[in-house]
Structure 1
Amino acid sequence: MRTARQEQGGFTPPLQEAQATHAPPGAAFTWPTRVYWEDTDGGGVVYHANYVKFLERARTEWLRAKGYEQRALLLSTGVVFAVYSMQLQFLKPARLDDALHVSVQLNSCRRASFTVSQSITDVRSGAQLCRAEVEIACLDQATFRPIPIPAELLMEIQR
């Protein structure tokens, strides 16, 4: 039995095991995901707040691909990251079962913060669905005050 989406040419094959792209230095990191029922609203499209979840997961996986798991970083250095500012543009809707690529590209680094550009793209059509500029602050876990990004981590995220 074919679904209405398949009849309209909207069928997308299953994602391969989720693996991020290992981009050359300076290139965007890309994380694959898919839209599930829990991501959608009554209109059948991704609820706007869920795009923020997709963006956060990609940033987390970007750090993990660079060798830094956030929990381990917290335990070893007392460092946590917090979104300081975020600007989003919703360009087109994502729908149930859509395969998406969520990218992360470093824009700039300061002593205690960094800014990334992010994009959510529909795999099938290549259409950009959402774009974001996100400033991330490096904070001391005990005080939640800004602290310098650890030197080793700073060097790695700038690669």
Structure 2
Amino acid sequence: MRAQHEGQPFTHACRVYYEDTDAGGVVYYVNYLKFMERARTEWLRALGCAQSQLAAENLLFVVHSAEARYLAPARLDDELRVSAEIIELNRASLRFRQQVWRTSDATLLCEGQIMVACVRADSFKPRAIPEALRAAFAGAGLSPAGE
């Protein structure tokens, strides 16, 4: 497992497809949460851990809560840059700060915080984040809460 570069949010590039837009031709608000989910998934993969591997180890990360602010619209064919950075690391949860930017003009479109809980795949009961994963997460320059 690789640690995230200290102080550097992970970024993921994506493009707006027709299916992401509403009748007004702009990205439907809930799709920003999908873009954020993809960035978190790719960030985990960049750390050397695929979600399918975690599920095989009876571990899942599930969204506990989400907060988003919408600042400007994205439109069909826009290229986006989605960031993910851990701002809080607890025993069985993580809080991410995420932003969605339009690449062409560096406009911040949406920002939010997502709380993700670590649970057992078989029961959905909370479980501690495994040490190897915690070490990779802590590489973001955070000290675990309560320590």
Q: Which ranges of 4 or more aligned residues in structure 1 deviate by more than 6 Å?
A: none
1:24 is displaced (CA, Å) by: 2.7
Question: Of 48, 61, 64, which aligns to 1:84?
Answer: 64
In the superposition, the TM-score normalised over structure 1's length comes to 0.84
> What is the CA RMSD across the aligned residues, in angstroms?
0.9
Question: Of 48, 66, 82, which aligns to 2:29?
Answer: 48
Aligned identity (percent) is: 43
Q: Give the match for residue 16 of structure 2.
A: 35
In the superposition, the TM-score normalised over structure 2's length comes to 0.90
* CA shift digits 1:41-61 (9 cap, x unpaired): 000000111111100000000
Q: Is the Cα contact below 8 Å between 1:26 and 1:106 reproduced in 2? A: no
2:126 paired with 1:146: yes
1:74 is displaced (CA, Å) by: 1.1
1:157 is displaced (CA, Å) by: 1.4
Query: Mind listing any 5+ residue stretches in structure 1 that lack a counterpart?
Result: 1-22
Question: Of 31, 43, 67, which aligns to 2:48?
Answer: 67
Equivalent pairs counted in the alignment come to 136
Query: Mind listing any 5+ residue stretches in structure 2 that lack a counterpart?
Result: 140-147
1:79 is displaced (CA, Å) by: 0.3
**SS of aligned partner of 1:48:** coil
Counterpart of 2:44 in structure 1: which amino acid? L
Bigger radius of gyration among the two: 1
* CA shift digits 1:104-124 (9 cap, x unpaired): 011010000010100000001
1:26 is displaced (CA, Å) by: 2.8
Q: Give the match for residue 112 of structure 2.
A: 132
Question: Of 81, 101, 120, which aligns to 1:101?
Answer: 81
Q: Is the Cα contact below 8 Å between 1:40 and 1:46 reproduced in 2? A: yes
Higher normalized contact order (CA 8 Å, seq sep 6+, divided by chain length): 2
2:103 paired with 1:123: yes
